[in-house]
Structures are given as C-alpha cells and as structure tokens.
Amino acid sequence: MAKQYWLLKTEPTAYSIDDMKRDGKTQWTGVRNYQARNTLRDLMKKGDLALFYHSSSDVTGIVGTCEITSDALPDPTAWDSKDSHYDAKSSPANPIWYCREVKFKQKFKQPISLSDLRNIKGLEKMVVLQKGSRLSVQPVTEKEWELITKQAK
C-alpha cells in the first residue's frame, strides 16, 4: 500500500520540534481521544510520514516533519498513576490507549503558520484548517503534503 500522511499536534511547551530534533525519536504517547486513537492504532503504517504541528504557541502551525517508525504499541503512560494522562480503566492486560514510535525528519527553516496555510490554494479542505478542529492526530492527503513540504523549501 502507498505511503500515507498524517499530522501530529503538540503543544511545544509539552514537547516541541526542538525536543524531537534533540531526541531523534520519541514515543508519541498521551493521545486520549478515541478518533485520534483509532487513527494512531489502526490506520497508520510504519514508514508513513507526518507533519509536526505546534498548537497554542506564539507561532501555531507546521514546524517540521517526522516518520512513523513502529507498529501500534500500548501506551504505557495510561497505567502510570503519576502521569498526567493516567487512565485507571486501562491496564497492560487490557490497554485502551496506544502510541507509536516517531522519528525526527526535519525542522522547517520557517514555520508555516495557520494563516500561511490558509493562503495556500489547495489546502482549503485540510482537517486542521476546519473550524473547531481539535483532533490531535489527523489524516493529510498526498496533495496537501506536497503543497506544504514544497512551501517549506
């Protein structure tokens, strides 16, 4: 099957593109929304690429790219009672939440802000640009991926 594209949202105060660049790779944990969980667990494939999105920051928008480098794994932060994403209903025997290993690919020289994105013809239907879009793991079409990565050069 052809490579697919995604968008991963994060608040840079929690985990930024610079953190990811420093770490090289990370476990993408803490997703606690069923639709995002289903995408993460069922739809993604190892080798897929994703846009890295900063929300609630001085520049909200796409700041780089990364690659999905594992199959779906149970999210261990769900059964860590000290973790802010702890969920007592999840257990190692019966995990509810899942995560992926994600590898750093590139940091854009210039972030592509939300208003930049709105000005690019062809991105009108992009999920993150829809009113009230709160999904933290979203699908991105190949066309959208190409328009954005081309813009980043």
Classify the phi-psi angles of 24: left when phi > 0, otherwise alpha if psi is within -120 to 50, otherwise beta: left
Least distance from DNA to the Cβ atom of residue 50, Å: 15
**Quick check: 66 and 15 in contact, CB under 8 A?**
no
Among 4, 6, 8, 9, binds DNA (CB under 7 A): 9
> Per CB under 7 A, does 41 bind DNA?
no
Q: What is residue 79's DSSP assignment?
A: G
Is 11 a residue that touches DNA (CB under 7 A)?
A: yes
Q: Is 46 in the site for DNA (CB under 7 A)?
A: no
Residues touching DNA: how many (CB under 7 A)? 19
Q: Name beta bridge partners: 65.
A: 51, 106
> Could you tell me the smallest distance in angstroms from the CB atom of residue 34 to DNA?
5
When asked if residue 136 is in the footprint of DNA (CB under 7 A), the reply is yes
First to last CA, the chain: 28
Out of 13, 115, 121, 153, which residue is the one contacting DNA (CB under 7 A)?
Answer: 115
Q: Does 120 bind DNA (CB under 7 A)?
A: no
Confirm or reject binding of residue 58 to DNA (CB under 7 A). Answer: no
Q: Which of 30-38, 62-70, 100-108, 145-153 is the region at the interface with DNA (rule: CB under 7 A)? A: 30-38
**With binding defined as CB under 7 A, does residue 94 bind DNA?**
no
Which stretches of the chain bind DNA, using CB under 7 A? Answer: 9, 11, 32-35, 55-56, 60, 114-115, 128, 130-136
